Amino acid sequence: MPTWIDTHCHLDAAEFAPDRDAVRAAASVAGVKHLMIPAVQRSHWQEVIALAHRHGDSYALGIHPLFTPGADESDIAALRELLMQQRDDPHLVAVGEIGLDFFVPGLDADRQIWFYEQQIKLAREFDLPVILHVRKSSDRLLKTLRANKVVGGIAHAFNGSAQQAQAFIDLGFKLGFGGAVTYDRALKLREMAASLPLDALVLETDAPDIPPHWLYTTAEQRIAGQLQGPNSPAELPRIAAEVAHLRGISVAELAQASTANARSALKGLPALA
C-alpha cells in the first residue's frame, strides 16, 4: 500500500473533538502516515503542539486570516515567544496557517495584511517555511514574498492562474491540491493538477473542510437531514488516486513524488517507509 503525507489537516478542529484519536488511527490504516497540523489562532497553539506530539506528526504555528478580526496585535509577540521556545522541537516545521483571504466579505484587508507581513517576518527570523492561505489573494501574497523572501513553503488549496502558480514555484513553494480537484466542474484546477511539474505538487485534505465530491451533499439533501462529511485525512489516498488519474501516472509514482515534495517544502518531515 502506498504511504502518504497529508500536508494540511486541522486535527484540532471542533468537528473532530469526539474522536480525534480514532480519526488519526483511521488515516494511518488508510496509508496516511504523517499529518502536518497548522494552527489558526493563538488559543489553539498548545493543542496543535500536543496533538502533533501525541501522534508523531508535525505542526505549524500561526494566525489564519479569517481569525484576524479576533486577534490582538500582542499575539505576534506571543507567537515569536512560542517559536523561540519551540525552535528545537523537530515537530515544528513551519509558520502557518497565514495568508490573505479576499473572498470572504467583511474582512479588513489592511488588518489581514498587517498580520500576514508580521508573520512573514517571523518566518524569516526563525528560518521557517510558511503555510499560505491563498484565496483571491495570490498577487498580494506574492508582492510581500518578493520583498521578504522566506525559505519556501506550501501555497495551500491553490486555485490561482498558471502564471501565479509559476510565481509561487519560482519562490520555492509547492502547491497543495486536495478535495476540490475531485469535482468534474473544477476544470481549471484539474487542468493545473494535470499539467504542473510533478515536483511542484503536494497533497492535502484541509480536513474537516474542502470535502471531496463523494462527501458533498446538495442543499436539498442537507434540508432532508443528510449532512456533509466532515472530510478526514483518511480520504487522502482516494483524492490522490484522482490526481494520479488526471496526470496519467500510477498512484505509487504520485505517492513517492508527493512525499518527496512535502519533505522538500517542510524540511522537518520524516521519510516514509
Whether residue 102 lies inside any domain: the answer is yes
**Rounded to whole angstroms, how far apart are CA atoms 8 and 207?**
8
User: Per the annotation, does 44 bind a ligand?
Assistant: no
pLDDT, block means (10 residues), the chain with 273 residues: 97 95 98 98 98 97 98 98 97 98 96 98 98 97 97 96 97 98 97 97 97 79 59 98 98 97 92 67
The pLDDT mean for the chain works out to 95
Whether residue 146 lies inside any domain: the answer is yes
**Rounded to whole angstroms, how far apart are CA atoms 2 and 253?**
9
- Distances in Å between the Cα of 249 and the Cα atoms of 5, 89, 240, 256 are 18, 36, 11, 11
User: Per the annotation, does 206 bind a ligand?
Assistant: yes
Instruction: For residue 156, list its beta bridge partners.
Output: 133
- What pLDDT does residue 229 have? 66
Q: In this predicted model, what pLDDT tens digit does every residue of 184-223 receive, in sequence order? A: 999 999 999 999 999 999 999 999 999 999 997 665 665 5
| pTM, full prediction | 0.95
Whether residue 270 lies inside any domain: the answer is no
Whether residue 138 lies inside any domain: the answer is yes
User: Per the annotation, does 10 bind a ligand?
Assistant: yes
User: Per the annotation, does 53 bind a ligand?
Assistant: no
Whether residue 165 lies inside any domain: the answer is yes
The whole domain housing 142 covers 4-265
When divided into structural domains, the chain yields a total of 1
Instruction: For residue 133, list its beta bridge partners.
Output: 99, 156
- Distances in Å between the Cα of 214 and the Cα atoms of 18, 99, 218 are 23, 29, 11
